[in-house]
């Protein structure tokens, strides 16, 4: 989802199969958690290609193809509003996508289309074992109001709640 041609292909396939697009959920993303001074140019380029460029063009294609009264949901991270150490690249790349989402909502509102962000905290997934490092999880988890990590079902429930 970091290349425009792949994103266009995805929308073409959806239109061919279903005839229309009523909802788009952008859940593509990558998180690299390490000190700013240690991030490589390759990691920077990969992160921005997916989290920023990919999000922009997914939202662009959604704007072009979604039906009136449709729903667009961008999955983001809570770190864009409440950052923590070692997450600057992830948060910065997602913050741009947050702004794309907010602006697109203003563009499409007259068509009855809602455009929202769902800002995730730490969520228990297979990827959580790899990133962020355990020491970050141990610092962040006690600050979570529910006293536990998020579950994938929590996110699914929020996205489903946004549907008409």
d(CA 53, CA 56): 5
Name the token pair of 98. Answer: 């947050």
pLDDT in tens, 28-81: 999 888 999 999 999 999 999 999 999 999 999 999 999 999 999 999 999 999
Q: What are the residue ranges of helices labelled H in 19-131?
A: 41-48, 55-65, 88-108
| Enclosing H/E stretch for 160 | helix 152-161
> What is the per-residue pLDDT for 43?
97
Integer angstrom CA distances of residue 67 from 16, 71, 83: 15, 9, 35
pTM recorded for the entire structure: 0.89
pLDDT at 9 over 90: yes
| pLDDT tier, 146 (very low <50, low <70, confident <90, very high otherwise) | confident
pLDDT tens-place string over residues 84-104? 888 999 999 999 999 999 999
**How high is the pLDDT of residue 139?**
78
Which H/E stretch holds residue 68? strand 66-77
User: Which structural domains are found in the chain, ordered by start?
Assistant: 4-161 (3.40.50.720)
pLDDT at position 135 over 80: no
Alpha-carbon distances, residue 32 vs 10, 87, 94, 128, 144 (angstroms): 26, 7, 12, 11, 21
């Amino acid at each position: 989802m970091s290349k425009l041609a792949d994103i266009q292909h995805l929308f073409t396939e959806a239109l061919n199969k279903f005839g229309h697009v009523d909802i788009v959920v952008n859940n593509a993303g990558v998180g690299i958690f390490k000190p700013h001074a240690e991030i490589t140019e390759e990691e920077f380029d990969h992160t921005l290609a997916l989290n920023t460029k990919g999000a922009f063009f997914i939202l662009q294609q959604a704007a072009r193809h979604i039906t009136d009264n449709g729903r667009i949901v961008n999955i983001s991270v809570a770190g864009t509003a409440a950052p923590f150490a070692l997450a600057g690249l992830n948060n910065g790349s997602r913050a741009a996508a947050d702004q794309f989402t907010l602006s697109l909502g203003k563009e499409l509102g007259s068509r009855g289309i809602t455009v929202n962000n769902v800002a995730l905290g730490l969520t228990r997934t297979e990827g959580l074992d790899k990133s962020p490092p355990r020491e970050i999880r141990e610092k962040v988890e006690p600050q979570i109001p529910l006293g536990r990590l998020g579950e994938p079902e929590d996110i699914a429930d929020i996205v489903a709640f946004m549907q008409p």
